[in-house]
A = this chain, B = another copy of it.
Amino acid sequence: MDRDRILLTPGPLTTTLRTKLAMLHDWGSWDTDFNGVTAGVRRRLLDIVHGHDSHVVVPLQGSGTFSVEAAVATLVPRDGHVLVLDNGAYCKRAGKLTQMMGRRVSVVGFDEDASVSPQVLDEQLRADASISHVVLIHCETGAGVENPLAGVAAVCQQHGKGLIVDAMSSFAALPIDAREVRFDALIAASGKCLEGVPGMGFVFIRQAVLDGCAGNSQSLAMDLHDQYSYMEKTGQWRFTPPTHVVVALAEAISQFEEEGGQPARLARYADNCRTLIDGMRRLGLRPFLKPEHQAPIIVTFHAPDHPAYDFKRFYAAAKTRGFMLYPGKLTTVETFRVGCIGAIGRQEMQQAVNAVGEVLREMGIATAPA
């Protein structure tokens, strides 16, 4: 049957029909009507982090990684020194893009099955006064770990260091309150927990550091200070915005608000995550992370320890049944991942578990409680 599959991936994810229907119009990017959409999105994004008194928000075309690179390029001066707290693939990517743009970068490594440590950060900052900025991935979806944003932010504040948070997969689901947690920049994107379609990111920048960002970026496209200044002056994006993506995001935010905002979204995702983990355990599939490190965003499972298991066959058989799983991203252990986010609830998660059970039996892999 011609029915969309459920995307159990960390974005692009399943969106509502209402969100997609918003894309059935063409908008002039120069027009005041579209400027109104942009302004509304920016205002409501600031609502979500309670950031109106402390931050501005700057949208940017491209994938989330474009916004991460733009945040580093815009926030960190040319002679800055960035410390990346690394417990996974997205941390490594942040380190790489910082190094490529010619900023000095240091990386402190942590195990990928646990959160990064504010205490270790404190030691690093004591040991090297040249560090100007710290990069934290809030939810490292490589394994699915939630990192301690509040603890890291407190240490950065004590030391007077700038904090750049990649909150790509956590924003709008995990609580982030700019009145309580100090960050210089925080980055997310349209196609994640706000349940829009992919195509743009956005960066919250602390007002106190904004003016100092002028001239930092060596990239025109990635210059968030320039993007901000132009948008404030004209209401428009500097370069052609992905108009359909922007209006879909506006529509997705309306549904986010109607659902009850971040607490409601977290509750639904947490329920999805519990339904998933409980169901998979009954099939004999073990989550890779300990519960205390697991964010309710994406769950890494150990692959079945069975000669008949093969990810491609497993994936294809689940897809046939209407569910798109996600490959593992760990280098040392064979795993697969299942997202808990998107416009899906307990029913879809239970159906996904049922489908995985069928697939394992079809592959001749015993399903027994782990």
Contacts and interface: CB of A to CB of B under 8 A. Distances in A.
Interface in A174-207: 189, 191, 197-199
Q: Name which of A25, A197, A220 has the most chain B CB atoms within 10 A of its CB.
A: A220
Given A7-B26, A326-B30, A61 B199 contact: yes
Nearest to A101: B218
Interface stretch (A238-246, A260-268, A271-279): A238-246
Given A62-B66, A97-B220, A197-B244, A13 B26 contact: yes
A240 B12 contact: yes
25 contacts: A9-B29, A9-B30, A12-B26, A12-B29, A14-B26, A20-B25, A21-B24, A23-B24, A23-B244, A26-B197, A28-B324, A30-B326, A61-B61, A61-B63, A61-B66, A63-B239, A66-B221, A69-B220, A100-B218, A101-B218, A101-B220, A189-B240, A198-B244, A199-B199, A244-B248
Interface string A121-158: 00000000000000000000000000000000000000
Interface of chain A, helix or strand or loop or mixed?
loop
A171 to B, nearest CB: 15
Interface string A225-240: 0000000000000011
A336 to B, nearest CB: 12
Contacts of A102: 218
B61 A239 contact: no
Nearest to A244: B197
Contacts of A242: 63, 197-199, 242, 245
A36 to B, nearest CB: 14
Interface residues of A, number: 59
Given A26-B15, A324-B28, A101 B20 contact: no
Interface in A8-66: 9, 11-15, 17, 20-21, 23-31, 61-66
Contacts of A243: 12, 197-198
B20 A221 contact: no
Nearest to A17: B24
A20 B61 CA distance: 19
Interface in A84-100: 93, 96-97, 100
Contacts of A189: 240
A222 interface: yes
Q: How many copies does the complex hold?
A: 2
A96 to B, nearest CB: 6
A327 interface: yes
A319 interface: yes
Interface string A276-300: 0000000000000000000000000
A78 B69 CA distance: 20
Ranked 5 nearest A-B pairs via Cβ: A199-B242, A62-B62, A97-B220, A63-B239, A61-B62
Nearest to A237: B63
Interface string A212-224: 0000011111110
A4 interface: yes
